Copies of this chain bind each other. A is one copy, B any other.
Amino acid sequence: MTANQQIILDNRPQGEAVESNFKLVQGTVPALQDGQVLVRHHYLSLDPYMRGRMNDAKSYAAPQPLGEVMQGGTVGEVVDSRHPKYQAGDKVVGMGGWQEYSVVDGNAPGALRKVDTTHVPLSYYLGAVGMPGVTAWYGLVKIINPKAGETVVVSAATGAVGSAFAALAKARGCRVVGIAGGPDKCRYATEELGFDACIDYREHPDLKSMARALKEACPDGIDGYFENVGGYIFDAVLLRTNAFARVALCGMIAGYDGQPLPLANPALILVNRLKIEGFIVSEHMEVWGEALAELAGLVAAGKLRPRETISEGLASAPSAFLGLLKGKNFGKQLVKLTP
């Protein structure tokens, strides 16, 4: 029997998430049944939404169960198959979780998808051409729906969602302004990701300062905002919105540890006639095909080539994940599971 290292959620965070919430265990790969596929994971995706699922609170998704393998996106290679649609050697993307191998029901809709790595690196199917890319696409295209010449802003600008957002918005003729932590990330945003400007929130740690920086970076005001963070940055952006601006609310990472995160001045929603919409990309499967096609095209054309931060080996996943929550990663955070 093949050994299969796994990471389970051992206990829930009390406030901030810590490494001891997770536990590395040794499993084995069971024998394949008819219709099943055995996948060896090359990369594991780490995403901010996972923090929310570590809590046992009412939310849009069921909490991650205690004692079970952490759920998460994976790309890898089919190593054995008892399903006619899959052969050994196929490159696939799925939700294999924090483990080296997964056994997948080949008939379950959406459980496994074969991908082409001719023009798109395999790992990108967890980022730019995966869930984060489609998240950026949905917020930009379906909620913000910008006209050429409008100004759009995204927080967590150099992450997997932010970098895809920039490429998609530039393709639509927008001015794109990012918000990120530190001068290196801001330089990366403007020099490599195509942002017209990027604001370092560490240099603008309060509402007034951030609002001033936004005024400078967005001389014509803000028409669309893609919110990943929450807190005073959200407040500052609302102060700079134009009439009829649209806000796509995708994450409030600043509030994941349970601290209260109020919105200071919701009256601005009325004053500026804003539309604010929260969404979960997995509830809009109908757009994935169109979105992934555009994203893959941008990658193939060299217009979307975001960096990745790759940590080595399954055991490194918890610390890499906690680093992601603190913004220590640079671009998409992955865990590499094969030598």
The chain A residues found within 8 Å of chain B, CB to CB, are 58-60, 230, 234, 243, 249-252, 255, 260-267, 269-280, 283
Contacts and interface: CB of A to CB of B under 8 A. Distances in A.
B271 A58 contact: yes
A230 B267 contact: yes
A278 B283 contact: no
A265 B261 contact: yes
Contacts of A60: 243, 270-273
Given A249-B269, A269-B276, A276-B276, 11 more contacts: A60-B243, A60-B270, A60-B271, A60-B273, A261-B267, A262-B263, A263-B263, A269-B278, A270-B280, A274-B276, A274-B278
A262 B266 CA distance: 6
Contacts of A250: 270
Contacts of A274: 276-278
A82 B58 CA distance: 66
Main secondary structure of the interface of A (DSSP, over half): loop
A59 B255 contact: no
A269 B273 CA distance: 17
Contacts of A264: 260, 262
A252 B263 CA distance: 14
Contacts of A269: 249, 276-278
B266 A252 contact: yes
A171 to B, nearest CB: 26
B234 A249 contact: no
Contact of A252 (B58, B270, B280): B270
A126 to B, nearest CB: 22
A325 to B, nearest CB: 16
Which of A250, A260, A271 is packed against the most chain B CB atoms within 10 Å? A271
A136 to B, nearest CB: 16
